[in-house]
């Protein structure tokens, strides 16, 4: 199974990550200049530099969605973990 160009949307603001991922791989996205692709055994495979900033959370409820393209005729699944950091939103 392959996932290509995963897209995260936060409150209508889209961020596309230009990467191709095979089953078991994972991304760690900390900033536009700190995005890394790891293999299923935790080995660093690629460092990715993003063209856009990461969408910000707003005070109150936030709508987050995920989409991607991938292997045809396969029900694509992905596990997404979102962790906010920085100053608390007041």
CA distance 90 to 72: 44
Decide: 27 and 83 in contact? Cβ < 8 Å: no
* Beta strand segments in the chain, E: 2-10, 13-16, 20-22, 26-31, 34-38, 44-48, 64-70
pLDDT tens digits for range 33-76:
999 999 999 999 999 999 899 998 888 899 999 999 888 888 88
Domain range summary for the chain, segments of one domain joined by +: 2-70
Q: What's the pTM value of the predicted model, to 2 decimals?
A: 0.83
**Two tokens, residue 4:** 């290509």
């Amino acid at each position: 199974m392959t996932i290509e160009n995963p897209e995260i949307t936060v409150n209508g603001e889209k961020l596309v990550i230009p990467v191709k991922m095979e089953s078991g791989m994972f991304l760690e996205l900390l900033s536009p200049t700190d995005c890394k692709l790891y293999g299923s055994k935790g080995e660093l495979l690629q460092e990715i530099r993003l063209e856009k900033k990461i969408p910000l959370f707003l005070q109150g409820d936030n709508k987050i969605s995920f989409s991607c393209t991938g292997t045809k005729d396969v029900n694509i699944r992905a596990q997404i973990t979102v962790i906010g950091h920085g100053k608390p939103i007041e």
